[in-house]
Amino acid sequence: MSLARGVLLSSILLSGISAQQSETPGLPLGHDLKLIFEQRGRYERRLDNSFRADSDKDTGLYRTRLGLTWRPLKWLRLSAMAQDARAPWYGPNAPNTVRDNADLHEAWIELFPAYKTGFGMTAGRMMLNYGEGRLIGTPQWSNLARTYDHTRMYWRLPRVRFEVLLVSPVKVRPDEFNRPALSDRVWGTYNTLPNVYRRSQLEAYFLHHDQIGLADNTGGFRFSGPLVDGFTCNLEAALQKGNIGPAHLSAAAWCGWIARHWIVGGRPLDISAEYKYASGTENPADPRHSGTFDQLYPANHDKFGHEDLLGWRNIHNVRSVTTLALTSAFALNFMYNSNWLATLKDGIYDGAGRLIVRSAAGTAGRHVGQETDVFCTYKYNHFTFGAGYGYFFSGEFLRNARPGVNPNYLYVFHTYSL
């Protein structure tokens, strides 16, 4: 890190601007000032990474965050965070997906944060999550975690919140300050109605995505919350219209899950079952039409398996998660995923939305494969420790289109946070 960068980041942190919103854990310093600190290390081994034979990776990932939140007035909150993310085992040319030496990760203001009703807004650079982060989210499992340059304004009423937003994901530049890339942006409205049924919540949104060669509109809703007899649920659906280059885009996606909490042998047990769908393109060779869903900027970790191999495009996915709390500090998790192509001639896509492989003739089969994952976490004071293993069993499609690959993932991690 250059001397100039170090001086600038130090001055930002010492000026009393903060790291995250008030609900984020931190160390109160008095006078509405709170310190945020996190240090995480993860050591992982990936075999056949991204469904490519011999693309094995053994690496250590280290992330440190330091920030402050400060509310000098009832109607004003200031926030900033510095983040240093490194992957030293990669060597000097580690990609910007795992490395970003000390940089300004967040810096934002919020007006009227303590008010229950009326006008409010945030602006600046911030980690954002809407709903479950399926369209706009911050993937915290990654070594960097996406952040956005944004402005959003909202009006709060007792039974509804109306919001307009403009967000643009920050492009990471490992050896210089990250700067906005406003040619890639989403603007629109995201509105929330709490307590519509048994404390359940309804969200409705309309989002316009602009990118070089792409312009589409996504309209959708999300319903989530408790049902009856201890069950909770989530249902989200979205339709898209627009253009990708010369092609007309018409796409759709939806997901739904149901979960329940039990006490078994005096220990908490949580089980959930989920189904997801996102459309694909019936004939990718036709330049006039596209049906592949644009997943925008998702936080896809765990949504298609713990290995994070797939994205919400051209897919049918069935997923279950079982969590058993063996003690108040130690939890054991088992996750299962099975995946099929939505359309045979379109392919499979990674978590960032990039095409991995397709069968142009549509003859490779439909079943992509299954993934099983076992992972555990243990919490002790400010520390969290964890480990996990996942294995992907290739289905007919992958055995034909990308033979000889069965990705698997082994890791251990620790986190210290205030």
What CATH number did the domain enclosing 351 receive?
2.40.160.100
Range of the domain at 393: 3-417
Whole-number average pLDDT of the chain: 90
Is 20's pLDDT higher than 50? no
pLDDT for residue 30: 65
pLDDT for residue 176: 86
**Higher per-residue pLDDT: 148 or 56:** 148
Distances in whole angstroms, Cα of residue 56 to Cα of each of 45, 46, 237, 272, 348: 7, 5, 36, 32, 20
Q: Are the beta carbons of 304 and 337 closer than 8 angstroms?
A: yes
pLDDT for residue 89: 85
**Higher per-residue pLDDT: 66 or 181:** 66
pLDDT for residue 26: 72
Name the DSSP letter for residue 179.
Answer: B
Q: Are the beta carbons of 312 and 276 closer than 8 angstroms?
A: yes
Q: Are the beta carbons of 192 and 161 closer than 8 angstroms?
A: yes
Confidence of residue 14 (pLDDT cuts 50, 70, 90): very low
How many domains is the chain partitioned into structurally? 1
279-337 pLDDT, tens per residue?
A: 999 999 999 999 999 999 999 999 999 999 999 999 999 999 999 999 999 999 999 99
- Residue 233 half-sphere exposure toward CB, CA atoms < 13 A: 15
The kind and range of the H/E element at 239 are strand 231-244
Q: How large a percentage of the chain has pLDDT more than 90?
A: 80
Query: What is the mean pLDDT of the segment spanning 33-43?
Result: 95
Is 10's pLDDT higher than 50? no
Which tokens go with 135? 């369209």
Is 3's pLDDT higher than 80? no
pLDDT for residue 11: 33
Which of 14-23, 146-155, 187-196, 366-375 is least confident?
Answer: 14-23
